Structure 1
Amino acid sequence: MNQDILFADIQLWDSEKQAVNFPAQQAGALITCWVSLSWLQKKAAQPLVEEADILSVFAANRFDLEELAETMIEDEEFNQGGDIEIN
């Protein structure tokens, strides 16, 4: 894992975006990362409705999500707003 990219142990469900937000930091810059509800539901192989269930699936897949986000940051795959989106 690249030590230049750090992930805080923070995750927040955003019901409007239907995604979980988790921050990363690279060279002092804060990068907002998102993982979609659909991605989490695919991993869980079931519909997720309750916030606690959504965050539980996120936690169970945190390592993989951080690796995906790290690769996307290194490859500069930012959206128009400068965020990383895992769909």
Structure 2
Amino acid sequence: MNGIDYFKRAAELAERAARCSGHAEDNIALAAAAQTFATLALAAATADATAFKRQLARANGVEPSAPSSIDPAAFAAAYLD
């Protein structure tokens, strides 16, 4: 699984937990599973943010944009003066 897959699974489990009218233990288990998958999605995004952004764009049917380069001197001049 990649970050997008973890995120989708977390969202699915959270929705099921919200709809579940059964036992409290079932809701807790679903919510805990959703949290676990959300944590894995965050870890995947943190581990490789650029790849995660590309996967997210492609999953939404959008062509990912090219990475931008930042001139450190221009950045420092704009924000540190």
Q: Highest CA radius of gyration, 1 or 2?
A: 2
TM-score higher than 0.5 here? no
Which protein is richer in strand relative to its size? 1
TM-score (ref. length: structure 1): 0.27
TM-score (ref. length: structure 2): 0.28
